[in-house]
Structure 1
Amino acid sequence: MTGSMISPMLAAAGALPAGPGWAFEFKYDGVRAITDVRDGRVEAYSRNLNDISGTYPELGELAGLLAGRSAVLDGEVVALETDRPSFARLQQRMHVSLPSPALVASVPVLFYVFDLLELDDQDLTSQPYATRRDILAGLDLASEHVRVPVRFLDVDGRTVLQAAELAGMEGVVAKRLASPYRPGKRSADWTKVPLIKTQEVLVIGWKPGAGRRSGTIGSLLLAVHDERDRLVFAGHVGTGFSDAALTHLQKELTALKRATPPVEGVPREHARHAHWVEPCLIGEVAFRNWTPDGRLRHPSWRGLRTDRAPSSIRRAPEPIPPPSQGTVIGAMQTPDGRWRVEAVRRNRQDFYRLIHGDNVIDGLVIATVQRLLEEAGVHLGDLVDVRTATSGAA
């Protein structure tokens, strides 16, 4: 077995698991990489098995860290901005096959190694996650550009999710301690709980900008594959672009020009003045939710993805929400609705629940609610009674 032959195991979206038998890791906002280290050489492969060894020369440090041993490792390549992973910053490296020393110095990457698939030609994929992680910890893989991220054992996953949000992470991945590594399979043995919703999309066209964006791209027209593998219109995105991203997109899209839309049913207001392109350029957007007619609501561009295949771009399944427990006897929220505090009664006991997006923290006392809000820059006194907010809006 070599890294060039292994597709990474994928996590399934779902509710945060409870009970024993789970470990929790932060979800890093980067790109996946399988690395094959042997005979002093390091080969790195993306999620769709493209060779990315030259793109990230920093991964060469693995050879020295393993000191002659061979290994196949799974992890995430990230770029940091003020100590937090930044997918936008990583974009400056993702599309450069042979980066200059100046680019490597100005936008360095880190490789967070979170799994060990093979060591000294011994296949470890059938071993439990707990065993693989223990062996990985013993390798002491730590250098300027290589880290083994922390794993949390014997803790409440909600606490880890709260810590991930405060640290600016993308979310949490829960991993079943007894689970084997399943190459190329998506499994609930790895359950991802994101703090923001993202969607991979295919660019099918663009519309010219106005004002400051005059002469360049104003918005991108998007599509995804539906459950019957048909390419369907998914809306448009006009925010989140840097000047560098617009320049790069313009160059890429010019080479993909076509005369007609690649999907049917694009509404007239979007089709008017559109420039159509072949649907082979893959991007990622952050968004609030899906509309009933299958459009992305309030999407924001995050960047291009070179580690996906166009045929794999389909609407991501919605995570299964956790079951509701207790009776809500009162609620307050910030005027914009982003933060909500509920007073809950369960089995004759009262407590507070803090809700922010998909992040729900249960079983809190009011002092803890106040502290968490203050750490997020929100004052408890700014919250208004939900009934008052509703009647005022009416």
Structure 2
Amino acid sequence: MGELPTYTPMLAQLGAPPPPGEDDEWGHEMKWDGVRVLAYAEGSALRLISRNGRDVTATYPELYPLAGATGGRDVVLDGEIVAFDEAGRPSFSVLQHRMHQRHDERIRHLVASVPVTLMLFDVLHVGAEPVIGVPYTGRRELLEDIVAPGARWQVPVWFRDDGPHALELSRRLGIEGVVSKRLRSVYRPGRRSPDWIKVKNVRTQEVVVGGWSTGQGRRASTMGALLVGVYESGRLAYVGNVGTGFTDETLRELGALLAPLERPTSPFDPPVPREQARTAHWVDPVLVGEVQYAEWTPDARLRHPSWRGLRDDKPPTEVTRESEPPQLAG
């Protein structure tokens, strides 16, 4: 059998839940707060490829047995790698401990202390045949038939015809939101399609780190805040400082990552306001992170942003401002 073809993930648009009169045309899944991967299971081997094409297989060895759970079929699966907190909720901050590890001994230790689970929600290829042209309902049935349950992966339940219930359940469970998918929709690799709508319970925004400011008080020897931006018309626009949401361990890790990236000039265009620039240390804009925030201000700044963690599944130049989640507006 030939090698499985390479795919890129289909993406969802941010939006409001489908209108009640159209709910029978949609299915709804939990929006897992983790890292998106495509899983290529061939023979007894598994490859995990991130959204930006990086091979992250070695980072998550507890997922290797998935290759033997597909009934002997070579498949390409779509899913999200998730870590859970002590209350059993998906936690992006807990997942941070796993995302950037490359050392085998450290990874083996973390498999025991911070295990991950792969939430599988789609199938793109089975054997020699692509199935991206099969409607969503058919792909879900195929996925549930192919994948045998495992300790570190699952095919989560989805909800048909009941979007309000799915969204309310996501709120009660402390989950980021839901993804509503049109039942007749096909899988469009690499496309951001209105056939998939992500409905968020909280405001989050991906940002690019362009610098950091000197800390004060107990942070005098470390970082005070990150200076962050998003891309607009090919330029990195400053959107604010992030000074909360950091643990001591996070500060140490960020300091080690930022030190070799330091540069003499600001990467932001237009320039950062003088007050923020006065104590700034500029860095090459290569690190992507995610923040939770209260709202966008009229002058395009993030109000009360709090750090959630680094992301390694998206190129910096693709980080742009997301619109406000409609169900949270006002």
TM-score range, shorter chain: over 0.9
Matched, 1:72 2:73: no
Trace 1:48-127 onto structure 2 (pairs within 5 A). 48-81=52-85, 82-97=87-102, 98=104, 99-127=106-134
Q: CA deviation at 1:315?
A: 0.9
Trace 1:175-190 onto structure 2 (pairs within 5 A). 175-190=181-196
Matched, 1:312 2:318: yes
CA-to-partner distance for each residue in 1:352-376, whole Å, 9 max, x for gaps?
xxxxx459xxxxxxxxxxxxxxxxx
Give the root-mean-square deviation of aligned CA atoms.
1.6
Q: CA deviation at 1:242?
A: 1.2
CA-to-partner distance for each residue in 1:125-159, whole Å, 9 max, x for gaps?
0110000001111124311101101100122x112
Using CA pairs below 8 Å that are at least 6 residues apart, which structure has the higher relative contact order? Answer: 2
Would you say the 8 A contact 1:3–1:44 is kept in 2?
Answer: no
Query: In the alignment, which residue of structure 2 is the partner of 1:43?
Result: 47
Change (3 A) 1:95 1:138: same
Counterpart CA distance in 2 for 1:107 and 1:44 is: 18
Query: In the alignment, which residue of structure 1 is the partner of 2:239?
Result: 234
Higher strand share: 1
Counterpart CA distance in 1 for 2:181 and 2:148 is: 21
Q: CA deviation at 1:4?
A: 6.8
Change (3 A) 1:2 1:14: farther
> What residue identity is the alignment partner of 2:91?
S
Query: In the alignment, which residue of structure 1 is the partner of 2:285?
Result: 279
CA-to-partner distance for each residue in 1:54-77, whole Å, 9 max, x for gaps?
011122121121242111000000
Would you say the 8 A contact 2:59–2:107 is kept in 1?
Answer: no
TM-score by length of 2: 0.94
Counterpart CA distance in 2 for 1:293 and 1:314 is: 16
> What residue identity is the alignment partner of 2:181?
K
Q: CA deviation at 1:244?
A: 1.2
Q: CA deviation at 1:229?
A: 2.0
Query: In the alignment, which residue of structure 1 is the partner of 2:159?
Result: 152
Trace 1:380-391 onto structure 2 (pairs within 5 A). none
Change (3 A) 1:225 1:141: same
SS in structure 2 opposite 1:34?
strand
> What residue identity is the alignment partner of 2:305?
P
SS in structure 1 opposite 2:287?
strand
Using the TM superposition, name which of 106-115 and 305-314 deviates more: 305-314
Query: In the alignment, which residue of structure 1 is the partner of 2:231?
Result: 225
Q: 1:197 aligns with which of 190, 199, 203?
A: 203
**Structure 2: 5+ residue stretches without partners:** none
Counterpart CA distance in 2 for 1:274 and 1:43 is: 41
Q: 1:21 aligns with which of 11, 18, 25?
A: 25
Counterpart CA distance in 2 for 1:52 and 1:83 is: 24
Identity %: 48
CA-to-partner distance for each residue in 1:240-272, whole Å, 9 max, x for gaps?
011111111001110001111112321111001
* 4+ residue segments displaced more than 4 Å: 1-4
CA-to-partner distance for each residue in 1:276-322, whole Å, 9 max, x for gaps?
11111111101111111111111000011111101101111334x47
> What residue identity is the alignment partner of 1:314?
T
Matched, 1:269 2:275: yes
> What residue identity is the alignment partner of 1:135?
L
Counterpart CA distance in 2 for 1:306 and 1:4 is: 23
Counterpart CA distance in 2 for 1:248 and 1:301 is: 14
TM-score by length of 1: 0.79
Counterpart CA distance in 2 for 1:100 and 1:46 is: 18
SS in structure 2 opposite 1:266?
coil
